[in-house]
Structure 1
Amino acid sequence: MKNILNVERIEKYYGNKGNLTKAIDNISFKVDEGEFVGIMGPSGSGKTTLLNCISTIDSVTAGKILINGSDITRLKSKELDKFRQNELGFIFQDFNLLDTLTAYENIALALTIKGEDTYKIDKEIQAVAEHLEIGQVLNKYPYEMSGGQKQRVASARAIVTNPSLVLADEPTGALDSKSARLLLERFENLNDNLKTTILMVTHDSFTASYAHRILFIKDGRIFNELIRGKDTRKEFFNKIIEVISILGGDDNDVF
């Protein structure tokens, strides 16, 4: 199976010699093509810093991060811009849609920047809209959509360019339980049918239970790993809760 993400012994420090904080402490792991991996950990554990380094928003102090064979820790600013455009898709908690554009135009923006022709843009948007069940809102503006619809439009924007890796940062954090469930079912659909590779940071056990594998981070290190295997989602959820109780989390989610 093709390796998409390879994190090798990365470290991340903040501050100076007088007040140095080690946010990431010698973390290594791999994500293969078509995997759906979750990252969990208590506040201050380093999970967001880890995602920021993988997404090229932040840089590592030591170690390497390879995405689809490219070492992003060695790329210059202009190279990083092109790399993000071609290789990464981003899904944020607060959607980050442009209010003056329709859903269709928000999704099309990524393809327009890449210089795709109008016919291909429309074809790709219609295809991704079908997978995410947002065809009925393509001509609506963000203020006309529910939170769940906006997040599915944001997800469509993230995957329409066919990136090597989709990075989701607390994607259900601003959604009610029904909208969260609908979004996560669409994630499953993308992962199962399009083989979309997803790396998702979440504090929520219900959200995490949709992933195939969970990495638990504590004090900047990998504390534990859970693989769903043949477990039902409910069984996997219960195992996640068990690890969180040991980890010292305060997850009160109910299945």
Structure 2
Amino acid sequence: MENILTIENISKYYGNKSNLTKAISNISLNINKGDFVAIMGASGSGKTTLLNVISTIDKVTSGHIYVEGLDITKLKGNNLNKFRREELGFIFQDFNLLDTLTAYENIALALQIQNIKAKIIDQRVQEVADKLGISDILNKYPCEISGGQKQRVSSARAIITNPKLVLADEPTGALDSRSSKMLLERLQKLNQDYQTTILMVTHDAFSASYASKVIFIKDGRIFNEFDRGGGDRKQFFDKIIDVVSLLGGDVSDVV
């Protein structure tokens, strides 16, 4: 399969010599195009830091991160802004929608910034809204729609530019169980039908079971990783729980 993300020996330290915190310590991994990867670990394990350095929100202390061969750890200025704008999609736990814009306008904004023609923007918004089942709320404002609908609008905004990577930070954290299940099913369908590459940080084993691969982080290092393989989601969930138990502590502390 085609490799899309390569991480080589990255570390991320905070503080100084007298008070040094190792958030990530010498992590290496490869993600293929079309993978749906869940990143799991206890609070403070380094999983969010890992997502942040992949997204270029934060910088690594050492090591390199390549997206389709481009070393993104060396990007600066306009090149860095262009990479974030055109190659990455973000799904946030708290949605990050603009309250003064309709759902349509929130989704379209990413393309308007790129000066895409209005006719093409409309076609792409309608297409992605249909994929995520939100065509009927495009003219509503964030205050007029549910949390689950807001998250699907956020997801639409993340994928409208056809990014190389979609990065999701606890996307179901603010949703009820029904809305969570609906969002995860939509993300899984996007991944399977359109080969959208998704990296999702989550505490939740149920959410992780929708992925095709799970990476467990402990104390800033990769503790374990495995693919779904040929099993169903229930078997994958059980396997995730087994590894969670090896991480130590109660399951509720980790997932």
Deviation at 1:77, TM superposition (A): 2.5
CA distance in 2 between counterparts of 1:74 and 1:162 reads: 23
- Partner in structure 1 of residue 66 of structure 2: 66
Matches within 5 A, 1:1-255: 1-252=1-252
- Please give the secondary structure, in 2, of the residue aligned with 1:94: coil
Contact 1:204 1:251 in 2 (8 A): no
- Please give the secondary structure, in 1, of the residue aligned with 2:101: coil
Aligned length: 253
Unaligned 5+ runs, structure 2: none
CA distance in 2 between counterparts of 1:234 and 1:58 reads: 35
Unaligned 5+ runs, structure 1: none
CA distance in 1 between counterparts of 2:20 and 2:188 reads: 40
CA distance in 2 between counterparts of 1:78 and 1:11 reads: 25
What residue identity is the alignment partner of 1:206?
F
TM-score by length of 1: 0.97
Contact 1:203 1:251 in 2 (8 A): no
CA distance in 1 between counterparts of 2:116 and 2:194 reads: 21
Deviation at 1:252, TM superposition (A): 4.0
Deviation at 1:249, TM superposition (A): 4.9
Deviates more, 1:60-69 or 1:159-168: 60-69
Deviation at 1:63, TM superposition (A): 0.3
Percent identity between the aligned chains? Answer: 68
CA distance in 2 between counterparts of 1:93 and 1:110 reads: 19
Deviation at 1:226, TM superposition (A): 2.0
Contact 1:39 1:216 in 2 (8 A): yes
CA distance in 1 between counterparts of 2:188 and 2:214 reads: 15
CA distance in 1 between counterparts of 2:248 and 2:196 reads: 32
